Amino acid sequence: MLTRKQHELIRFIQERLEETGVSPSFEEMKDALDLKSKSGVHRLISALEERGFIRRLPNRARALEVIRQPEDAVASATSKAAAPASLKMPESTPRPANDVIEIPLHGRIAAGVPIEALEDTQTLPVPAALLGAGDHFALEVSGDSMIEAGIFDGDYALVKRTDVARDGEIVVALVRDEEATLKYLRRDKGRITLDPANAAYEPQVYNADEVRVQGKLAGLLRRYN
For 76-102, write each residue's pLDDT tens digit: 333 444 444 444 444 444 444 447 788
Mean pLDDT for the chain? 78
pTM of the model: 0.55
pLDDT band at 127 (very low <50, low <70, confident <90, very high): confident
Judged against a pLDDT cut of 60, whether residue 176 lies above it is answered with: yes
Catalytic residues: 145, 183
**Model confidence over 196-211: pLDDT tens digits?**
999 999 999 999 999 9
Q: Which DSSP string do the residues of 81-142 spell out, in sequence order?
A: HHS-GGGPPPSSPPPPTT-EEEEEEEEEEESSS-BPPP--SEEEEEEGGG--SS-EEEEEEE
Q: What are the phi and psi torsion angles at 50 (to 5°)?
A: -65, -30
User: Percentage of the chain with pLDDT > 90?
Assistant: 24
**Model confidence over 61-74: pLDDT tens digits?**
557 788 877 764 43
Which domains does the chain possess? Answer: 4-87 (1.10.10.10), 100-221 (2.10.109.10)
SS3 208: helix
SS3 189: coil
Whole-number Å distance between alpha carbons of 72 and 74: 6
Q: Say what the pLDDT of residue 114 is.
A: 53
